[in-house]
Amino acid sequence: MAETSKVIAKKRDRAGKGGARSSRREGLIPAVIYGDKQAPLMIAVEPKSVERIMHREGYFNHTLKVEVDGTSIDVLPRDIQVDPVTDKPLHLDFLRVGPESIISVQVPVHFKNEAASPGIKRGGVLNIVLHEITVRTKPASIPEYFEVDLTGLEIGHSVHLEALKVPDGVRVVARDKNQTVASIAPPTVVREVEPTAAAADGAAPAAGAAPAAGAAPAAGAAPAAGAAAPAAGGKAPAPAKK
């Protein structure tokens, strides 16, 4: 069962943007509690009491007790609005729940014993399809997480929803009752490109490239501009016949 934490708050005198800005000036986080067939309750939350838990895994599937001026209210977090620059919470939404309320929550999936999977040892990759699973249950029955044991899984093996241990009173919500949760995929192989025969023998020099040292110029080819004069004592080239 999920842990229940306490959040400290007080009632807000005004609703709307004006009341929210007033709460922020006091260093508090404006929030609202709604649901359970009761009127919405505008509150202002003490930041330290909620910031320490709102970044934990499964924040939205953990029931909280909000202490409002001495009165304890059981709630489930439903939404957080944050500042895009500072990432500080600007507004919180809570759903009021009772002992018999039936609610939908997202429960995280944990994987264990990766080292005991022969497929992973041989280079296989754990392909996670579902990081969270939606369930419907009472607040007191919300699972902390679902656990998947990878022991003995080979490459190509999969784990499906039907393999999960679902507590009594908890119903998994899914279109496909045998949906894949995770699988062991084959390793990714990078193929090396083999050089062609021409590349192996040496490609022809690019156009305009100088010939290798000692190589004779092609027949009929004009000497390069600015070519060096013949060495002293050497014969001058014969004049071209007309």
Q: Tell me the per-residue pLDDT of 148-186, one tens digit each, with 9 for 90 and over.
A: 999 999 999 999 999 999 999 999 999 888 899 999 999
**CATH class as words, domain 5-96:** mainly beta
Q: In sequence order, what are the residues at sequence separation of 6 or more whose Cβ sits closer than 8 angstroms to the Cβ of residue 159?
A: 148, 150, 153, 180, 181, 182, 183
Report domain extents, the chain: 5-96, 103-185
Asked whether the predicted pLDDT for residue 220 surpasses 80, the reply is no
Band (224; pLDDT cuts 50, 70, 90): very low
| 8 Å CB contact between 147 and 5 | no
Can you tell me the distance from the alpha carbon of 202 to that of 206, in angstroms, rounded to the nearest whole number?
Answer: 12
**pLDDT at residue 99 in the model:** 83
CB atoms within 10 A of CB 97: 20
Can you tell me the distance from the alpha carbon of 13 to that of 26, in angstroms, rounded to the nearest whole number?
Answer: 13
Q: In sequence order, what are the residues at sequence separation of 6 or more whose Cβ sits closer than 8 angstroms to the Cβ of residue 17?
A: none
* Percentage of residues in the chain having pLDDT higher than 70: 76
Q: What is the CATH number of domain 103-185?
A: 2.170.120.20
Q: What is the pTM of this model?
A: 0.67
